[in-house]
Amino acid sequence: MRQMMKGNEAIAEAAVQAGCRYFFGYPITPQNEIPEYMSARLPEVGGAFLQAESEVSAINMVFGAASTGARVMTSSSSPGISLKQEGISYIVGAELPCVIVNMVRGGPGLGSIQPAQSDYYQATRGGGHGDYRMIVYAPASIQEAVELTQKAFDSADRYRNPVMILGDGCIGQMMEPVSMPEYKKPDDLGEKTWAATGYHPGCGRERNIINSLYIEPDRCEQHNLDLQAKYDAMKEREVMAKEEMAEDADIIVVAYGTTARIALTAVRKAREQGIKAGLIRPITVWPFPEKEIAAAAQRCKAFLTVEMSLGQMVDDVRLAVNGCRPVEFFGRTGGMIPGVSEIYDRILKIKEGL
Amino acid sequence: MAEYKKPDSLILPLASYCPGCTHGIIHRLVAEAIDELGIADHTIGIAPVGCAVFAYNYFNVDMLQAAHGRAPAVATGAKRANPGNIVFTYQGDGDLASIGAAEIVHAAARGENITVIFVNNAIYGMTGGQMAPTSLIGQKTTTSPLGRSVERNGNPIRVSEMLSSLTGPAYIERVSVHDVKHIIAAGKAIKKAFRNQVEGKGFSLVEVLSTCSTNWGMTPMEALKWLEENMIPYYPLGVYKEV
Ligand SMILES: Cc1ncc(C[n+]2csc(CCOP(=O)(O)OP(=O)(O)O)c2C)c(N)n1
């Protein structure tokens, strides 16, 4: 059954369907519908919602709930996600699963409350301290947001690592028809035998200690190498991207999230004008679809990266293309959204220069 | 004299503490309370950042290690997700009264049904003796080399008094471990703080005045005397809240 839902509410309901029973958050625009929805919904399913005193506390409450083996989520927008970074780093270090939603808004500082993609570096490089990564899903529609939210809980459990949903104000605020998928837990996800649930000698397992401290450097290095093995597995298995008209394209636009929808309209317009344009849309911005882009670089003549930032993902595109094709950039920032004709004009200009 | 028996909930040796450190006494009191109430099999302890960071090696229960100051938030998450568990935090004064001031105030204000063991040694032990929010006026530390002054640093925070002004907490008591009589009283308070949680009474905090002879630059005996003569007058012992 399809129903009209606001992005934020759809994400919240998808989380509940996926078994999320605990939510800790602090109000910030443009994601308030997530905590508001959860505050009413979670008690109905025997869970708990708590409005924390800050994002710092919220992410540490997530740490506590995740430690017990529960499915737990927090959401925020850019300034609040900055505050969560120390906690996210601890969650990675302690190998806890959780889902974190960032409905990105304009920055830096208090910035604006309009949609942006300027937290890309923070999301994809491990925004807190230490050597870490996490899967970052960037939905471009509400239906996709719903599906990726459910997948996020599975991926988090599978790798015992946080997973981020990187949205923007548009994804959070707009309404679209959605059908809520029936959630089915993957068979490979077993019992969380590592969880802190209570121990006594003879209970059949060792004491569970949820910890990110490895005071001896050789053990800390080994811990990092173990984490790295998980990131390598994610890179191997979890990359998602969608290509549109990219097969025979001369000019390939790379864009994610809301920007990719606008870029697709510009690409279609270019095709109508006889320009062979195409689109590659990373759905996971980490791990980044570098193989897909490197392969496309063998076929096409030039790339155009479009973002709601002054150029962050373009670095990853350039790394993947590795100098074998020109990579142009166009971006709007601070809460401004690139227009179809602005992107089309860039495509046209590249075409003229070919 | 009865022979000292190691509590089942304590794992010895407490290798990371300096000789004469009172953290060891407080660990024993916590472990005895857990044993006596028979709650070890569903107790979750939360270690802070500070000298007690390795508490996860010493309490024979499932343990979490929290970010600096965030133990009350971590405890809140763990307790909300599994209300049947007994959840306690063990925190120093830098952890609880400085960087984690917001977390402890709000956990107390909400009346979270958790137990907090707050070890006030008036200094940052782990990082080498810097000034704490609870360092006394005139106290010399590595970051108050001329002695703490009201003009430069403001007055030390009395956590028990401050938190007892809130409606949320069920029980707040300040105790000391500078002699046997006070250690026995501290043990009773700690046990009560755990029993309250078992009975669902709500937020219970025991502030334990403690020494740090290493960073105070004293022998362990001198430190116990300094605690008695200097800390207790500014941090009076007693029950600050009980409902
Ligand atoms: C975010 C952060 N800031 C600073 C530190 C460094 N640090 C570690 S322990 C500590 C002070 C601990 O003092 P206290 O809580 O009084 O405990 P004690 O060591 O005296 O038992 C500090 C500042 C840290 N680990 N994390």
Considering the domain architecture, whether residues A23 and A133 belong to the same structural domain is answered as yes
Instruction: Write down the ipTM of this complex.
Output: 0.97
> In this structure, is residue A26 part of a structural domain?
yes
Considering the domain architecture, whether residues A26 and A131 belong to the same structural domain is answered as yes
Last residue of a domain, one of A131, A146, A179: A179
Last residue of a domain, one of A150, A179, A208: A179
Per-residue pLDDT at B3: 65
CATH number at residue A155: 3.40.50.970
* Peptide bond just before A30 cis, omega within 30 deg: yes
Asked if A169 contacts A6 with a C-beta cutoff of 8 angstroms, the reply is: no
pLDDT string in tens for chain B (243-residue length): 456 789 999 999 999 999 999 999 999 999 999 999 999 999 999 999 999 999 999 999 999 999 999 999 999 999 999 999 999 999 999 999 999 999 999 999 999 999 999 999 999 999 999 999 999 999 999 999 999 999 999 999 999 999 999 999 999 999 999 999 999 999 999 999 999 999 999 999 999 999 999 999 999 999 999 999 999 999 999 999 999
Give the range of the structural domain holding residue A270, as residue numbers without chain letter: 241-353
Interval A18-39 mean pLDDT: 98
Tokens linked to B119: 């070890």
Asked if B163 contacts B108 with a C-beta cutoff of 8 angstroms, the reply is: yes
Residue A183 in this model has a pLDDT that exceeds 90: yes
The protein residue with its alpha carbon nearest to ligand 1, atom 26, reads B68
Per-residue pLDDT at A1: 81
Read off the pTM: 0.97
Quick one: which of B211, B214, B17, B209 has its CA closest to B129? Answer: B214
- Rounded Cα distance, A246 and A280, in Å: 7
> In this structure, is residue A212 part of a structural domain?
no
Q: What total of structural domains would you count in chain A?
A: 2
> In this structure, is residue A254 part of a structural domain?
yes
Considering the domain architecture, whether residues A166 and A269 belong to the same structural domain is answered as no
Interface test with B, best of A54, A62, A73, A207 (most B CBs within 10 A): A207
Chain centre to alpha carbon of residue A317: 17
> In this structure, is residue A193 part of a structural domain?
no
* Ordered domains of chain B (ranges, CATH): 23-242 (3.40.50.970)
Phi, psi at residue B24, to the nearest 5°? -60, -45
Q: How many CB atoms lie within 10 A of CB A341?
A: 12
Considering the domain architecture, whether residues A159 and A285 belong to the same structural domain is answered as no
Interval A150-157 mean pLDDT: 98
- Rounded Cα distance, A28 and A51, in Å: 12
User: Residues A287-345: pLDDT tens digits?
Assistant: 999 999 999 999 999 999 999 999 999 999 999 999 999 999 999 999 999 999 999 99
Using a pLDDT cut of 90, give the percent of chain A over it: 99
> In this structure, is residue A19 part of a structural domain?
yes
- Rounded Cα distance, B55 and B86, in Å: 16
Considering the domain architecture, whether residues A172 and A270 belong to the same structural domain is answered as no
Element (H, E) at A302: strand A302-307
> In this structure, is residue A302 part of a structural domain?
yes
Say whether residue A100 is in contact with chain B using an 8 A CB cutoff: no
Q: From the CA of B68, give the closest atom in ligand 1.
A: 26
* Burial class of residue B152 in the structure, from the number of CB atoms within 10 Å of its CB (0-12 exposed, 13-18 middle, 19+ buried): exposed
- Distance in Å, CA A61 to ligand 1 centroid: 20
Considering the domain architecture, whether residues A247 and A322 belong to the same structural domain is answered as yes
Considering the domain architecture, whether residues A10 and A113 belong to the same structural domain is answered as yes
Question: Crossing angle of helices A78-93/A55-67, nearest 10°?
Answer: 30
> In this structure, is residue A185 part of a structural domain?
no
The owner of tokens 């166009």 is: A330
User: Residues A213-253: pLDDT tens digits?
Assistant: 999 999 999 999 999 999 999 999 999 999 999 999 999 99
A residues 200-259 lying closer than 8 A (beta carbon) to B: 200-201, 203, 207-213
- Residues in chain A with CB shorter than 8 Å from the CB of B44 are 67-68, 196, 198
